[in-house]
Amino acid sequence: MPRVAFVLAKLATVELSDNWANKPIASLESIFRVWMPQTACDSDERLKVIEALAERFPEVAWTICLAQLNTFGRIGHYSHKPTWRNDGYGFGEPIRNRASIVSFLRALVDMILSWKREYSTAMLCELVERMNDVDDEHRSRIWKIIHTWIPGASDSQKAELREKIRVTTLSTRARKRIKKIGTGPSVDAAAAAAYEALAPADIINKHAWLFREQWVQETADELHDENDSYEKREERVTQLRIAAIREVAKARGFVGVFDLAHRGKASGTIGWLLAREVLSSERVPQLIAAALTHELNGDVASRDDIIRGALRSIDDDHARTRAVESAMKGLSEGEVVRLLQLSPFRRSTWELVDQLTPKSREAYWATAVPDWMRANDAECAEAVERLLLAQRPRAAFAAIRLDLESIDPELLYRLLTAMTAESRDEQGQYPIDGYSLETAFRVIDKCATLTLEQKAMLEFAYIDVLYQPWQRGNAYGIPNLDKYVEAHPELFVQAIVLTYKRSDGGDDPPEWKVAAEEREHLGSRGFKLLEGMSRMPGHDSFGQLRAERLSAWVKAVREACEALGRRDTADRCLGKLLSGAAIGEDGVWPCEQVRQVIEELHSDSMIEGARIGVYNSRGVTWRGRVATKSESWPQSTESGQTRCDTHIPLSRRSC
């Protein structure tokens, strides 16, 4: 066993940051699992091996020992036993003797608390996190270790461990957990003493906990009432943050504020509170200019967030414009562009951009990240026009997607058309969701100035998104494309040619051929057009389905496809389309007009296509032990009407 453990430990020193479960460290944890060890060695031998690992591979041994202290959600898996030896059989099962488990676990805890190497900050944080998994004796030893460690720790290390104690043992959630376990008073007193002893001297470390995350986990002592409202709690946290920012700004100036922002994930909140609560309106431009200066310490991202937060805290456009213009003085051309990119995406900012040189204007519009716009209609329209001029249609759509109903349909049509062509938008930066696209198409569909052909061609361009046969009742679909195909049956023929091969093995005429590199893409679109159509062809100007119109449309498709060697394929596709017919006036499905056409043609392939269409219209089905209503093809429709039997020619009218 020692050789295997050392080999696995050597492999475990290289951390694997993937989601695989079968790793060397997982194998080691299974071998030393206190309640179900996957080894034939007894507890004494396992303890000797783990002690040897602590000497040669201390990081790995520490991880193994801490894993055994986890008392929540423990799961054990069996290891594979060799087939050529029988010495592994009879071992690896859960240990029934609880005394043996407790004895081995106490030995591991004693080894952790008597660690022969110096404790790091991360190690102490892990001990504090598992404070509730040990008894009072070992808990007292942990606090003693922390007090012994404090004199030699740096200020930042103290702040890190102090924050871990605050959120682990002093928070409201931790208090409830400790109260449930029954170890409240002793833990509270020891934790409070260690928390006070770890108080950092540096003012940044002192207040960093308020800005480590956007949501501040307060301690139980800071909460006067557990049922306090969210608004009161937020106001209390805001006042604590304002006081902290004031203290840091007074002691360290802007450099200290930038350092504070760099240590957490609430830089935007710091900028917001600085501009609104701490600084005067005259000093806000100084803050912005200082954040744009490269000589100052701190990362660029946190300082950019400070600028964003500060500018967005100014509600009045004129006041914000004055602040930006004042901050622009003395900045280089590149810094001015960067400042305007961090400003709110509004008309007041665009007017400042218009005053720049052509090169700077192009740089701004090429990289500006638009906000979600819910402003007046004119400003939204202007944003779309400007971004279209910059060849960034996806960015424009992302900016207005929450208020598409307020956009002029013709402008929305231009925007969606531009999104189908090449643009300067970065790949994957602005993913477009299907719901927003459907909303945009619903707005365009109501426009009376756009022609049917324009709407239909746009729907065909987005058929990959609009094709949702499993949601025909709720989805937008392709209504205008349906009408266009009804008026132009040659488009239906073209979809069949793109999707299916000839049955006679011949070659298509040159005008029907497509380039090899586009064949797969166009074939997929043709298939989705055939499957996505839901409107029955043959309607007159009053919207009434006429048998003679439907018959003429079907014959035109069949004749064209027969000349192209695809008559049977066309009949199957036509049968699928006709399977969506309504119920006739006599209560029989399909309606009289469709029945008349099918009986005239008497095509077996068309009947087969209709049968497939009816079966597919059921959606997803499954097979259980007892046949359900959806598993046997019903003889009635959802409305309870009679359905003609499509297993035999419909001319027999067997229902």
Helix H, strand E, coil C: the string for 22-61 is: CCHHHHHHHHCCCCCCCCCCCHHHHHHHHHHHHHHCHHHH
Sole residue written with tokens 């040897």: 52
d(CA 479, CA 463): 11
d(CA 60, CA 25): 8
Please give the pLDDT value at position 488.
Answer: 96
d(CA 629, CA 650): 24
CA atoms within 13 A on the CB side of 377: 8
3-state class (DSSP) for residue 428: coil
Please give the pLDDT value at position 249.
Answer: 94
Provide the b/e sequence for 454-490 (b: ≥16 CB within 10 Å).
bbbebbbbbbebbbbeeeeeebbbbbbbbbbbbeebe
As a 3-state breakdown, the chain gives helix, strand, coil percent values, each rounded to 5, of: 60, 0, 35
Evaluated on CA atoms 470, 474, 476, 477, the torsion sign reads positive
Please give the pLDDT value at position 192.
Answer: 85
- The DSSP letter of residue 589 is E
Do residues 91 and 39 make contact, with C-beta atoms less than 8 angstroms apart? yes
Count other Cβ atoms within 10 Å, centred on residue 286. 14
Distance, CA of 197 to chain centre? 42
Please give the pLDDT value at position 184.
Answer: 52
Count other Cβ atoms within 10 Å, centred on residue 526. 21
d(CA 633, CA 610): 14
Please give the pLDDT value at position 223.
Answer: 52
3-state class (DSSP) for residue 333: helix
- The DSSP letter of residue 510 is G
Tokens at 285, concatenated: 């431009």
Q: Checking phi first, is residue 614 left (phi over 0); if not, alpha (psi -120 to 50) or beta?
A: alpha
CA atoms within 13 A on the CB side of 270: 35
Do residues 320 and 348 make contact, with C-beta atoms less than 8 angstroms apart? yes
Do residues 588 and 635 make contact, with C-beta atoms less than 8 angstroms apart? no
In single-letter form, the type of residue at position 172 comes to: T
- The DSSP letter of residue 83 is S
Taking alpha carbons only, the member of 243, 278, 245, 273 closest to residue 259 is: 245
Count other Cβ atoms within 10 Å, centred on residue 233. 16
Do residues 275 and 314 make contact, with C-beta atoms less than 8 angstroms apart? yes
Taking alpha carbons only, the member of 402, 358, 360 closest to residue 383 is: 402
Sole residue written with tokens 């061609």: 457
Taking alpha carbons only, the member of 486, 515, 485 closest to residue 498 is: 515
Which phi and psi angles does 643 have, rounded to 5°?
-115, 135
CA atoms within 13 A on the CB side of 217: 15
Number of H helices, E strands in the chain: 32, 2
Tokens at 622, concatenated: 């499954």
d(CA 533, CA 524): 14
Please give the pLDDT value at position 633.
Answer: 43
Q: Indicate the angle between helix axes 516-532 and 479-487, nearest 10 degrees.
A: 100
Do residues 331 and 289 make contact, with C-beta atoms less than 8 angstroms apart? yes
Q: What is the DSSP string of 362-403?
A: HHHHHH--PPPP-S-HHHHHHHHHHHHHTT-HHHHHHHHTT-
d(CA 416, CA 459): 10
d(CA 129, CA 145): 14
Please give the pLDDT value at position 297.
Answer: 54
Please give the pLDDT value at position 330.
Answer: 86
Provide the b/e sequence for 163-184 (b: ≥16 CB within 10 Å).
bbbbbbbbbeebbeebeeeebe
d(CA 185, CA 175): 10
d(CA 165, CA 186): 14
**Rg of the chain over CA atoms, in angstroms?**
36
Our CA angle for 458, 552, 508, nearest 5°, is 65
d(CA 161, CA 158): 5
In single-letter form, the type of residue at position 457 comes to: M
Evaluated on CA atoms 84, 86, 87, 90, the torsion sign reads positive
Cis omega (within 30 of 0) for bond into 590: yes
Q: pLDDT tens for residues 470-527?
A: 665 678 999 999 999 999 999 999 999 999 999 998 999 999 999 989 999 999 999 9
Q: pLDDT tens for residues 71-93?
A: 666 778 888 877 777 776 778 88
3-state class (DSSP) for residue 539: strand
Give Cβ neighbours of residue 125 (< 8 Å, ≥ 6 apart): 160, 161, 164
Q: Cα–Cα distances in Å, from 430 out to 341, 393, 452, 479?
A: 17, 10, 29, 27
Start-end of H helices in 446-591: 452-461, 463-466, 479-487, 489-499, 516-532, 547-563, 567-578
d(CA 599, CA 606): 11
Do residues 62 and 46 make contact, with C-beta atoms less than 8 angstroms apart? no
Give Cβ neighbours of residue 269 (< 8 Å, ≥ 6 apart): 211, 214, 241, 309
Which of the residues in the chain have pLDDT under 70? 71-73, 88, 171-188, 218-228, 294-298, 375, 470-473, 624-655
